[in-house]
A and B are shown apart, each in its own frame.
Chain A
Amino acid sequence: MVEHFQKKQLIQDSRLMFHQGDVPAPLARSVRREGVLMPLIATGGTNPVVLDGYRRLSLLADEDVVPIHVMKDRKAALRATVELNMLVSPYSEMEKAGIVVFVREACWMEDREILDTLLSRLGLKGQQVVLNNCMAVRLLDSKLFEVLSVRKAPLKFAVKLSREPLDEQLTLAELFTTCKLSMSQMVQAYDLLIPVRKRENAVFSKVIEGLDREGGDVLALLRQKRFPQATGIRKELNSLLRRYRGRLKFPEDLEGDAFGFSCLLKCPEDAREYVAMLREISEDDALFHFLAEHVGND
């Protein structure tokens, strides 16, 4: 049933503010111009507890009147909130995890009910593993949690990071923020850091300190550290190929035992140039040394 309440009559619970971040501009514009058109969802009696509509509510004054769909059954209200939002403003995976954490910690639902009714509404698999992953997000340091929330991190990535000790999480949060890494860059950076940390038997901060940050972007530096052999081979290869202005190629995945040559003849003079280039290539000892050294091709 839809009733009308002044904003100040409503109970707002920060734990139920599932959407993170700023109010989307189109929504803010609409609320300022038209007021609240679609009823909020709340549960309870005289002073209902709001479940859906916190972003719209934040734009109103205490005396403003809003339509509220009050549902007595709080589980039904929660389900309606989730269903509605997944349609009109889907939650990020971090936000979904936040909902699950709240529902479980506030004892609104048993595990079985979460698996059977909530996870599927959130577009997640109704599996214990998924529930556990959602709960693992609690273990994230607050700063890292914020960074991941803003970037709408996938749940799996957040879970991985939640297994790191807190000081390592802090280092990551700092790296991600200071280097202004995008979501995919954060995943790459973490992927690169893990084996380097293991190899050097160090902590993330030491690995990062050891990078010559003046010399390039952090991902490129980490890649060089993670793949020293491949980096060495590629450097050598690049210096060999540079001379031939893109005509000479070697497989990107290094899965080969031969260089390839390609050219486009636009005018007869080109032929002479490329023949000369081929002659130069055939006498280029460095190319033969490269093949002999790296793939044993005699």
Chain B
Amino acid sequence: MIDRIFVTEAAESYSYVEEICDRAGLRPEIIQDDAAYRNDVERFLPDPVGQGKRHLLLDVFKGEFFRKCPGTKGKVCCNYYVIDQTTNCPFDCSYCFLQSYLNLRAIRFAVNIEDLFRELEIVFRKHRFIRLGTGELADSLALEPLTGFGRKLMEFAIEFPGVVLELKTKSASVDKLPDVRNKPGRGVIGWTMEPARVVSREERGTATLEERLAASSRAAGKGYGIAFHLDPVVFFPGFEDAYLDLVDQLFSRHEKLDWMSLAGFRYEPALKGFVEDRFPESELLDGEFLRCSDGKFRYLFPERIRFFRRLVKKVKKMSPKTPVYFCMEDARTWDLVMGRNALKDPVLTPIFSREGDNEKQGM
């Protein structure tokens, strides 16, 4: 998965570097900084996106690790916070926005995790309830066998009451994670779930659907909440039945999920070229798309509504207490699919409640 490990001069003295290199069985290549990687390595790669995914750049991050998920213009926000400790991912998914988003092609991994924990401790002590994760710019557990970072972060965060930490992944690397039963915080493992056809065609290097399902059962056994993200929902011939079957498979393993998110495949114009160049066999761009108000392309609204209604109906029937929400869809979609006032449904309180909501209600 990782061919080369680069270590910046700033990161060289961190013991975590040695730990990672030992696990990977690779000798670190010392470079001055990320600019040196760009100039001396990346620009000579014939496939920078693909090859960069096999390069791990261990660095020290001096900025803030923690931020609010920016969501997207005009769409309903799910009040999620993200930790940007790793950027980029060894998995190679055709639909991944990181292809057109990142300006450094290696996987950048910040080894100064003590700084991260210090920053998080301040945040956790301030908030009584916070839902956060590491899966925005990276897969939370893809590098777990090398870095063990998911375990370290979970062990730290789970001790804070009111913290809900989600590790979002397409891997099956859950076995080294700590047991979180009877802990003050809540650990959640979230999997992106796709029908087997999408996994095999669009998600290179990831765990199979079966492996993810099996891993979810093992994680549940350790006390983790389980979340599934049907994101992106990809339209292909027979997709409706494939996703409805998938829902059957998910709920045959878990009676209730901590949450489930849904989102149709959407893309920024810049992503299209990457999909066409790097994934000639992909079915991703075969559907009918229209450019929406936020500049992204989405499947036709009527088609999305029609299918989401079927999907949500099925989920609600199989697991009425599972909170289902849309990622990056607007209020009209919510209204049309979930019904008016869906956002006030108490089932969704754990997802959408914000710090201070209780005080407002009491006033």
Contacts and interface: CB of A to CB of B under 8 A. Distances in A.
A256 B46 contact: no
B276 A160 contact: yes
Given A127-B48, A229-B288, A296 B43 contact: no
> For B301, B335, B336, which residue has the most chain A Cβ atoms within 10 angstroms?
B301
Interface size class of A (residues with CB under 8 A): 20 to 34
Contacts of A255: 290, 292-293, 298, 301, 330, 332
A295 B336 contact: yes
A253 B336 contact: no
Given A295-B336, A296-B306, A296-B309, A254 B273 contact: no
Interface string A140-161: 0000000000000000100010
B336 A297 contact: yes
A228 B286 CA distance: 12
Contact of A253 (B45, B46, B286, B291): B291
A146 B293 CA distance: 38
Q: Is the interface of A mostly helix, strand, loop or mixed?
A: helix
Contacts of B330: 255
A228 B302 CA distance: 14
A295 B43 contact: no
Nearest to B290: A253
B210 to A, nearest CB: 29
B347 interface: no
Nearest to A229: B288
Contacts of A194: 276
Interface residues of B, number: 29
Contact of B332 (A127, A128, A195, A257): A257
Given A254-B290, A255-B293, A255-B301, A129 B273 contact: no
A256 B301 CA distance: 8
A290 B306 CA distance: 14
B322 to A, nearest CB: 23
A249 to B, nearest CB: 14
B45 A233 contact: no
Contact of B305 (A195, A227, A228, A295): A295
A294 interface: yes
Nearest to A119: B43
Contacts of A296: 305-306, 309, 336
Contacts of B44: 115, 127-128
Nearest to A194: B276
A71 B214 CA distance: 71
Given A128-B43, A199-B286, A256 B300 contact: no
A220 interface: no
26 contacts: A115-B44, A127-B42, A127-B44, A128-B46, A129-B45, A129-B46, A129-B47, A132-B46, A160-B277, A195-B285, A198-B286, A229-B300, A229-B303, A230-B288, A230-B290, A253-B293, A253-B301, A254-B300, A255-B293, A255-B298, A255-B301, A255-B332, A256-B301, A293-B302, A294-B302, A296-B309
Interface of A: 115, 125-129, 132, 156, 160, 194-195, 198-199, 226-230, 233, 253-257, 293-297
Interface of B: 42-48, 273, 276-277, 285-286, 288, 290-293, 298, 300-303, 305-306, 309, 330, 332, 335-336
6 closest Cβ pairs, A-B complex = A294-B302, A127-B43, A254-B301, A255-B301, A253-B290, A227-B288
Given A199-B286, A254-B300, 7 more contacts: A127-B42, A129-B46, A129-B47, A227-B288, A229-B288, A230-B290, A255-B301
